Homo-oligomer: A and B are copies of this chain.
Amino acid sequence: MKNKLSIKDIAELAGVSTATISRYLNGKYQSMSVDTRKNIASIIEKFGYQPSNIARSLRISESKTIAVIMADIFNPYSMDVLKGIEEFCSEKGYTIFICDAKNSAQRERTIIEEMTVKRVDGFIINTTGENDYFIKGIALEYPVVLVGRKIKNSNIPTVSVDNAQGIRLAVEHLNELKCKKIIFLSPPAGHISPRNERITEFKKMSGEDNFAHIEMKCLPVSVLEENVIKQFLINFHRSDSDMKSIITGNGQISLKVIQVAKELKLSIPEDFLMVGFDDTDWAHILRKPLTVVAQPTYKVGYSAAKKLISQLMKENDADENYLEILPVSLIKRETT
């Protein structure tokens, strides 16, 4: 690594004080003559000087860096959210640390703490759902925006999606198709808000007059338990109702169900109808393209970044509208 030039070197080279160089670097051109300005510009250009952000951060205690903490970074949903966040941040000159909690509450805490040490300016968090208290504490000291998943009894700014609407669209669609039986295969809800919202709404609907003639059941499944899914599908297929359907709670479960159905030689929609959550990239290349509830994931990320950065820039301390809920949509394809 070659010896970096410091502001002092440049000051000497240019024959001015470091103060003037600093002013130049910060674009305060009105407070210097055109000559010195041009002179400094040429010196900097000539020697390829690059100021140290580290030193600057230390001095002004602002790092122009945001930590993004995702419960599970490596699923398509997170990827899209990340894309949105990244886009807005880079537009505004912010850099992001992307961190993966790997679905571990413990790791989520560790990683958030590490990031405070890095002196990030703020946090965007897609929480594991198990650190409400901890995160509320962090939010007292740092600007925080929640993405996708809410935290109860807090007014931390949050961007999410209309999950109740999502499950409602799916059920209504299936009802129109005369389904007599709807099984909702949801990932285990834990304290994860979107899952709970969907499950709650699903149960609520099962009590409504409109759907009284439908057998509706919610079954929590983990993608890791392939056997459970298999056993369920076997029983499900054997059960007598003839207009059966499944709603899958995310892309990974959809994938598993399709895979297992394949192994069992079950056909969709011949043996049962299916609606998935999340419009994954492979949804439309299946033998029968999958009907899905699509979420505006990219936009969720973009909005979250916007919320955080406008907060950092003090554009809106008036924290009305702390909760932003984006609509979802049903994309009808061939599995229904």
Looking at chain A, what size class is its interface with the partner chain?
35 or more
CA distance A97 to B262 in the complex (A): 40
A154 touches B (CB below 8 Å): no
What is the 8 Å Cβ interface bit string for chain A, positions 2-16, against chain B (1 contact, 0 not)?
100000000000000
Q: Is the interface of A mostly helix, strand, loop or mixed?
A: mixed
Query: How many Å from the CB of A312 to the closest CB on chain B?
Result: 10
In the complex, the answer to whether B285 meets A141 with C-beta atoms within 8 Å is no
What is the 8 Å Cβ interface bit string for chain A, positions 285-296, against chain B (1 contact, 0 not)?
111000000000
Pick out which of these stretches binds chain B: A49-57, A181-189, A271-279.
A49-57
- Residues of chain B within 8 A (CB-CB) of A79 are 74, 79
| Other-chain contact of A255, B97, B262, B281 (Cβ < 8 Å) | B281
A264 touches B (CB below 8 Å): no
Within 8 A of B (CB), among A255-285: 255, 258-259, 262, 280-282, 284-285
CA distance A170 to B136 in the complex (A): 54
What is the 8 Å Cβ interface bit string for chain A, positions 137-149, against chain B (1 contact, 0 not)?
0001111000000
A63 touches B (CB below 8 Å): yes
A118 touches B (CB below 8 Å): yes
With A51-B117, A74-B83, A119-B52 as given contacts, are A1 and B141 in contact (CB-CB < 8 Å)? yes
Q: Which residues of A contact B (CB under 8 A)?
A: 1-2, 50-55, 57-58, 63, 65, 74, 79, 83, 86, 95-98, 100, 113-114, 116-119, 140-143, 255, 258-259, 262, 280-282, 284-287
